[in-house]
Amino acid sequence: MIKIGQRFPEMTVNTTHGVKHLPVDYSGKWLILFSHPADFTPVCTTEFVAFQKRYEDFRKLNADLLGLSVDQVFSHIKWVEWIEQNMGVKIEFPIIADDNGNVANELGMLPENGTTTVRAVFFIDPNGIVRAIIYYPPELGRNFDEILRALKGLQTSDTYGVALPADWPNNELIGDKVILPPANTMDLKAKRDEQKAKGEIECFDWWLCYKSI
């Protein structure tokens, strides 16, 4: 089972937009790869609509979407046609047809006892590294604002070398401010004390300092 920090395994997949080579076809971009249990199911349909309605938000963050289930490609095609015809939402992102289950099995998307995928979400960075993984059971639809928040948080962490507090950017203690890595040497502790004295950062203590960006 793939883990956070590993390079996403190279694979060739069949999708509704043709053959894709992962992760190389998405080099230089973030990729949100997500699985759903099955086409033509109620919760999955609401999720695809939610993803599509936020697709432009993902694009603005240099991210693309790629769905997956163990259905065949013609099922995917008919389902997205049904969504457009009945809900007025055109699904623009590709969907992997993993009808033999090989991709889902390699990525750990299958439950302990079952043959349909759970609701997994993989965050793959522009270098092809898996940065975050979220799993939901089939009966629980995903929170799509949280997926966007996690992507923004990972990008913010990369840009500024910081960590993000609970519920960022709406943390109940420090709001939208970000956390500095804990001082791990006496020299760095002294530097943090100096930064605090100058008003450059704020601290609850020397090991919990934060700032605005």
203 belongs to the catalytic site: no
Q: At a CB cut-off of 8 Å and minimum separation 6, what does 148 contact? A: 54, 57, 58, 61
Residue appearing with tokens 């990525």: 107
- Cβ atoms 163, 178 nearer than 8 A: yes
- Cβ atoms 160, 168 nearer than 8 A: no
Under DSSP, the state recorded for 8 is P
Which of 22, 44, 68, 209 is an active site residue?
A: 44
Q: Phi, psi at residue 123, to the nearest 5°?
A: -100, 115
CA distance 204 to 130: 32
Please confirm whether the linkage preceding 42 is cis (ω < 30° from 0): no
Which residues have a catalytic role annotated?
A: 44
